[in-house]
Homo-oligomer: A and B are copies of this chain.
Amino acid sequence: MSTSHPLSIASDNHAPIAPKILEAIIDANHGSAAAYGTDEASKEAYETFKKAFGPDARTHLVFNGTAANVIALKSMLEPWEAVICARSSHLHLDECGAPEAVGGFKLLTVDCPDGKLTPTQIERELIRRGDQHYAQPRAVSITQPTEWGTLYSISELEALRAVIERHGLLLHIDGARLSIAACALKTSFAHIAKASGAHAISFGGTKNGLMGAEAVIVFSKKEGNRIRYLRKQMMQLPSKTRFLAAQFVAFFDNDYWNELARPAIETAQFVHSQLREIKHISVVQDVQANSVFVKLPRSWNKHLKDKAFFYVWDDHENIVRWMFAYHHCPDDLQDFIATLKNLDQESLLRTPPRPEA
């Protein structure tokens, strides 16, 4: 795909830098600044994260989400401890084995049709504790919103917290799109952190309008100290941190994150609303965040790809993912929706609709 494609709904990381974020980078570009997180912009960012996530939040900026996940988990785990996660998680499917190869830890994957782990599923994994032959289940990693565009509600997060505390586990949130979740749930980051009792959060910027920056947030001094060294050893200590920090400061300033999340969610909801009258497709997951997963007749793909760039998510079932970002609005999708409706009409003329499994 080229930068000149008219419309990409393939991923929120296809979006450009949001205007105020770019301004913040430009503004940070005057004079010399210390490196490696000791500059003024970084200090401001740490305070900003404390305001957003609570006074115990200790933040370390890193380059990307894979690293945020692996470093966050590694900071909490002994080498023989394992992570319970959904089989559909980015951690398992999309990190090219970084958790195992770089983090050195095992993932205990659980089938979660909607991407969400339940307390019961977690408890089912708690076998053979204290048995030296078995990688010990210790951390639970959830994604909020999930890779299937669904959300844990606040009460679901509270239920997770209860099971985590009852069994002495540790909770990690892969929050590559946590600002989407906070916007959709109409709540604050601190509320999500508190309700879930998260011990570590990978907080994403890049998918939410930043040029490129992620944060690892932990809430204890011990893990904070470990991350100082682990981040560097895991090759994720940026030098010119002011430019990452400035992006996050702008992101939180006046809840700019909320302004960026809202159009992404609303565009997804708009598209979802338009799909109801289309007979030959099925929306396979609740639309709660900024993505819509749709099972399509395979023959439609090429026609739709003329209108927008997107990925087939499940090749076997021909489930596609349409994902929206801050720079999208319903109007951008009118032509795409029209094409869908035309395809549906043509199909109707040929064959009556059948529900697809």
Is B127 a contact partner of A229 (Cβ separation < 8 A)? no
Residues of B within 8 A of A109 (CB): 109
Residues of B within 8 A of A15 (CB): 32
CA of A69 to CA of B187 in the docked complex: distance in angstroms? Answer: 43
CA of A66 to CA of B134 in the docked complex: distance in angstroms? Answer: 12
Q: Does A11 contact B (CB under 8 A)?
A: yes
A127 to chain B, nearest CB (A): 7
Residue of B63, B133, B233 touching A236 (CB-CB under 8 A): B63
* Segment at the interface with B among A34-42, A141-149, A155-163, A282-290: A34-42
CA of A237 to CA of B212 in the docked complex: distance in angstroms? Answer: 11
Residue of B3, B25, B33, B226 touching A31 (CB-CB under 8 A): B3
A contacts with B: majority SS? loop
Is A100 a contact partner of B94 (Cβ separation < 8 A)? no
Q: Does A112 contact B (CB under 8 A)?
A: no
Which parts of A236-285 form the interface with B (CB within 8 Å)? 236-240, 242-243
Is A3 a contact partner of B33 (Cβ separation < 8 A)? yes
A37 to chain B, nearest CB (A): 9
CA of A8 to CA of B33 in the docked complex: distance in angstroms? Answer: 8
Q: Does A80 contact B (CB under 8 A)?
A: yes
CA of A63 to CA of B5 in the docked complex: distance in angstroms? Answer: 26
Is A2 a contact partner of B233 (Cβ separation < 8 A)? no
Q: Please, which residue of chain B has its CB at the minimum distance from the CB of A242? A: B3
Is B32 a contact partner of A233 (Cβ separation < 8 A)? no
CA of A29 to CA of B209 in the docked complex: distance in angstroms? Answer: 11
Q: What number of A residues sit within 8 Å (CB to CB) of B? A: 84
Q: Does A56 contact B (CB under 8 A)?
A: no
Given A3-B39, A211-B25; A70-B235 close (CB under 8 Å): yes
Is A97 a contact partner of B135 (Cβ separation < 8 A)? yes
Number of copies: 4
Residues of B within 8 A of A114 (CB): none
A294 to chain B, nearest CB (A): 19
Is A31 a contact partner of B16 (Cβ separation < 8 A)? yes
Q: Does A51 contact B (CB under 8 A)?
A: no
Which parts of A196-216 form the interface with B (CB within 8 Å)? 206-207, 211-212
Is A100 a contact partner of B98 (Cβ separation < 8 A)? no
Q: Please, which residue of chain B has its CB at the minimum distance from the CB of A228? A: B132
Q: Please, which residue of chain B has its CB at the minimum distance from the CB of A65? A: B239
Is A234 a contact partner of B102 (Cβ separation < 8 A)? yes
Is B30 a contact partner of A16 (Cβ separation < 8 A)? yes
Is B3 a contact partner of A40 (Cβ separation < 8 A)? yes
Q: Does A299 contact B (CB under 8 A)?
A: no
A128 to chain B, nearest CB (A): 8
Q: Does A88 contact B (CB under 8 A)?
A: no
What is the interface of chain A, defined by CB distance below 8 A to chain B?
1-5, 7-8, 10-11, 13-17, 22, 25-26, 28-36, 38-41, 63-64, 66-67, 70, 74, 78-80, 82, 93-102, 104-107, 109, 127, 132-136, 206-207, 211-212, 226, 228-240, 242-243, 309, 315, 327
Closest 4 CB pairs of A and B: A97-B135, A8-B32, A80-B229, A1-B34
Listed by A's residue number, 11 A-B pairs whose Cβ atoms lie within 8 Å are A3-B33, A16-B33, A22-B26, A36-B133, A95-B235, A98-B232, A98-B233, A99-B100, A102-B102, A132-B229, A133-B232
